[in-house]
Amino acid sequence: MAGSNLTNVSCADFARFQEALKEMRMIDDKVIYNLNKVVPTTSFKGQVDASQKCEGFYNELSSAYSGRENVIKRCISEVSTSINQLKKEKDQNPDDFKIMKDLRKRQGELRLMQSELNIEEVVKDRTLKVFHEKCRSHYTPPKKDSL
């Protein structure tokens, strides 16, 4: 996933936010395919450096996880700021139905965005389990780097 796509993720529209996350999670959806390309079969073991390929793929995964987590946290922060502003407006205009409606909508979006952090953990765990099954004899990630 290109870095520019990460910075262009809109936090204002939850549906677009989810669509962007779905696109960014493609590396996880295709993990088995990618690992089959990375780890050679017995007949090709001498022609491919599986250690180097596994390390490269691990670095791609690490970058993807970091980018997605940063996007989710940035959006949580933006929506929280928006909620605080709406709360101030509500305090000034307690009878304004539109402000109340917008506040409830943004609070719901915030809860959904916070749940994306949990979803991210599940996706990461599932992918890393498959990664370790395929690459454990070729590459061991550094302990400090435990995604």
- Read off the pLDDT of residues 33-77 as tens digits, 9 standing for 90 and up: 888 888 876 655 666 688 899 999 999 999 999 999 999 999 999
C-alpha–C-alpha distance, residues 128 and 146, integer Å? 10
pTM: 0.82
C-alpha–C-alpha distance, residues 67 and 64, integer Å? 5
Q: For 5-14, 30-39, 43-52, 75-84, which range has the lowest pLDDT when averaged over its residues?
A: 43-52
Residue (of 25, 1, 31) closest to 121 by Cα position:
25
Return the biggest CA–CA distance within the chain: 74
